[in-house]
Structure 1
Amino acid sequence: MSASIQTKTIHEFLAEAPDVDSSELWASFWEILSEAKDRITAELAVVPHASGAGLDYWVTDDGAYEGSLNPYVGDPDTGVEWLVHSWIGNRKASILDMNLQVWLGPHIDVPHLVIVFGTVPQIFHFNDFVARRDLMTDVDYLERYYEPLNQSFLSLRGDDRFTWSVSHGTYMRAFNSPVANSYMAERSDDVVETLRRSVLERVDTWLGWVRDAQPVPVEERAALRERDHLVRRYGYTLDPMNELSKKFLGAERVEELVAARAGLGQIAELD
């Protein structure tokens, strides 16, 4: 496909087809994200965080935007520091942004996990393992966590059903690892099933890393947490998708939801 498809903005996609019903895709993607969450929380204990009170389902007065925001925490020193399972959009009007993100404590340096599904109304999918070391200098870390996924990454990258999707945010491009999946695809059952398999395989791989991880030396943990918190903060606050949401919800409400989704209050407590 042409490069223009790879770099087309969400606004441009939506302008071409603003009223497509994505309810069935929402159900499929929420099922995938929920299964991923359940696999993770079966091994890594979490409890709901108070910042999610009243946000398990919300909708604007005019029905133009709706969503669900479900944050969880584990033991920040020995397990999951922050897990968020959420979606925002309009199931009847083309636009969805759905995600599961898991941020680990500094006791280990296993990459964090990010999984995103969306519709614009074409399918959008992103998933990645967020590096916690400098991949340009820490070659051992690169080979431990990223090299084993190289072939599966290249296999999906070479699948002509999927077109690479380029974020217009420079920070979001810096956020990506060498095995990040960022794709647009036509709406079809076979595409959904391919993404389901890809996501669940990656979740199982990630859980294996967590099981086998070696402890980070105690004296290095504070610096690792400080870096984690910066990456977590910027990954949410610098997302270009926030600008689209402001058109429906207003800047103040979007800032509130982004803060809750990123767990900025929890970050402040731990720093």
Structure 2
Amino acid sequence: MTASTQTKTIHQFLADAPDVDRSELWGALWGILSEAKDKITAELEVSPHASGADLDYWTSPDGGYEGSLNPYVGDPDEGVEWLVHSWIGNRKASILDMNLQVWLGPHIDVPHLVIVFGTVPNVFHFSDLVPRRDPMVDVDYLNRYFDPINSSWLQLRGDDRFSWSVSHGTYMRAFNSPIANSYMALCPDDEAVQILGDSVRERVDTWLGWVRDAKPVPVEERAALRERDHLVRRYGYTLDPMNELSKKFLGAERVDELVAVRAGLGQIADLDG
């Protein structure tokens, strides 16, 4: 059977079940992201970035919204340029958004890695390998990174225990690669955690293999690659529709501050000079 498609908004999901305690599920999903982060940073050296000071755990003044925001940097020319491991929401009131994103420097053109879990209150999952080249015209790039994992993408896409989740943001749909995963779970939580955890582990292992085997990008091409990377990174955070939901709880100013840290806008400005 082919998985169905879900076009309900996050607001509609929350309106249906606004007060579900997802604390236990948060632990399982955050554990998957943390396991992935630890595996990546055991191989690719990073260190905490100063912009994350005092954000390891934070709450809104009324305690109704909480989160953790942990940015890291590596060598921006020879390794990980930016890594962020974060979550935001309310574990006892249905809504959670958990992220691990790894943005590489321009020394190689391996796709960036994005892994997201959420609850609304049922399980949401997004993961992608963000292209650094245009796969519509660079067929060699498409065949190197996306075609080899097409069969595993199709297997999960056809699993009727998950509904395809369509972003209401046009940029976020443009952001998706040919093997982006975007699902709402229809099965019990423990089943979803097992299936999606296995998918994440496979994707992380594949991605790390690409990083190990990558050929250097010619030095004269790196500035243009970095410029494109920074635009994608900036827009991928600032145009996320989830920001509008957070503004209802935190206010626009606070959300803009947190988004700037998650995106590493300060680092982008420094590197772009």
Whole-Å separation in 2 of the counterparts to 1:204 and 1:4: 28
TM-score by length of 2: 0.97
- Measure how far apart 1:188 and its partner are: 1.8
Q: 2:177 is paired with a residue of what secondary structure?
A: coil
Q: Which residue does 1:43 correspond to in 2?
A: 43
Whole-Å separation in 1 of the counterparts to 2:95 and 2:5: 17
Q: Which residue does 1:242 correspond to in 2?
A: 243
- Measure how far apart 1:4 and its partner are: 9.6
RMSD (Å), alpha carbons: 1.2
Contact 2:5 2:166 in 1 (8 A): no
Give the gaps of 5 or more residues in structure 2. Answer: none
Asked if 1:269 corresponds to 2:270, the answer is yes
- Measure how far apart 1:5 and its partner are: 6.1
Whole-Å separation in 2 of the counterparts to 1:97 and 1:31: 14
Q: Which residue does 1:135 correspond to in 2?
A: 135
Q: 1:68 is paired with a residue of what secondary structure?
A: strand
Q: 1:42 is paired with a residue of what secondary structure?
A: helix
CA deviations on 1:50-93 (whole Å, 9 max, x unpaired) are: 00000000011211100000000000000000000000000000
CA deviations on 1:96-139 (whole Å, 9 max, x unpaired) are: 00000000000000000000000000110000000000010000
Give the gaps of 5 or more residues in structure 1. Answer: none
Asked if 1:114 corresponds to 2:114, the answer is yes
Whole-Å separation in 2 of the counterparts to 1:188 and 1:234: 32
Asked if 1:252 corresponds to 2:268, the answer is no
Which runs of structure 2 are paired with 1:118-267 in the superposition (5 Å)? 118-186=118-186, 187-267=188-268
Whole-Å separation in 2 of the counterparts to 1:152 and 1:164: 15
Aligned length: 270
Q: Which residue does 1:65 correspond to in 2?
A: 65
TM-score by length of 1: 0.98
> What is the one-letter code of the residue matched to 2:58?
W
> What is the one-letter code of the residue matched to 1:183?
Y
- Measure how far apart 1:190 and its partner are: 1.1
> What is the one-letter code of the residue matched to 1:205?
T
Whole-Å separation in 1 of the counterparts to 2:132 and 2:116: 20
Whole-Å separation in 1 of the counterparts to 2:249 and 2:266: 24
Moved over 6 A (4+): none
Whole-Å separation in 1 of the counterparts to 2:154 and 2:77: 35
